[in-house]
Amino acid sequence: MNLNAKTVLVTGAGGFVGSHLVERLVRENCKVRCLIEYDSRGDIGWLEDVDADVSGEIEIIAGDLRDADAVGNCVAGMDAVFHLGALIAIPYSYENPRQVVETNVIGTLNVVQAARAANVERVVHTSTSEVYGTARSVPIGEDHALQGQSPYSASKIGADKIAESFHNSFDLPVATIRPFNIYGPRQSARAVIPTIVSQALSGKKVKLGSLHPTRDFTYVTDTAEGFVKVAECDTAIGGVFNVGSNAEISIGDLVEKIARLIGRDIEIERDDVRLRPEQSEVGRLWADNTLAAETFGWKPSVALDDGLGRTIEWIAANLDRYNIGAYTR
């Protein structure tokens, strides 16, 4: 499938990754419809920050993934659907598991049902490395066991299986992309890199939870490129593909790297409220990205130091948008 001049829907378009993907698709000459969560203030999320040459080329529709009629209306007439919409905060899933399950599982069901009814050419469903839980072996391949270590990860396992079932049952042309830890400009302090950077730029003390877990970080534009490549690859239909850097770094070592890039010493203060329950903590994530490389030629192009430098620069210019030191769930 060639995306050039195609009409595409992006769910979750107002989010961090969604907004970057929208920019990438517009520059791919796509006609982009954006589904965002309804807000009475008219807030369109990070789409407020996309380049001017992009904002004038997109259609924005507010709705709720749990509303089958709203989803069906958005999907109608589309050639492709990029399904990124989800509730993604793990701590929030401890407190509100029903909402997370309804949005992520029922929302995905609504998307694939609508896509089937509309005979779309391609659906790209977004998974997460959290479905693997703590690595039993590394690097983690797509055949690694799935482990529901949080209500969020369990909901995404359910969503992944809904997508898989619609391919197996109805030949829905769906491919699943499984990003690891994405970072870059526009990311909220819910994620660890903006949490560290925003605090470090404001002082010498950084509040964090566990320092020993490792993560596999991928710059957001590389991830957006992965979405495009998996959508355009016909042989990817029915498959699941890791999009990660094939490297791991501990949170403690990440702090040291960011301190070096910023050029100041950082004192870490343990904040127990940021700790996951012991059996819910994912101790190790390290992607094997071989299948994505072999199937549709994807490999990351932005090294961690370079990506962190760009991210630090953006956060420094937008520091007033962060509630420094507050725990963002």
Q: What angle do CA 138, 140, 145 make, to 5 degrees?
A: 110
What is the distance in angstroms between the CA of the first residue and the CA of the last residue of the chain? 38
Q: How far apart, in whole angstroms, are the C-alpha atoms of residue 301 and residue 221?
A: 9
- Does 152 qualify as catalytic in the annotation? yes
Count of CB atoms situated within 10 Å of the CB of 212: 10
317 CB-near residues (< 8 Å, 6+ apart)? none
Q: What angle do CA 156, 160, 163 make, to 5 degrees?
A: 140
Q: How far apart, in whole angstroms, are the C-alpha atoms of residue 234 and residue 229?
A: 10
- Nearest Cα to 211, choosing from 161, 156, 245, 256? 256
Q: How far apart, in whole angstroms, are the C-alpha atoms of residue 71 and residue 103?
A: 12
Q: Which two tokens stand for residue 49?
A: 């920050």
**132, 152, 183, 219: which one is catalytic?**
152
Q: How far is CA 230 from CA 41, 112, 178, 227, in A?
A: 35, 17, 11, 5
Instruction: Specify whether the CB–CB gap between 111 and 86 falls below 8 A.
Output: no
Catalytic residues: 152
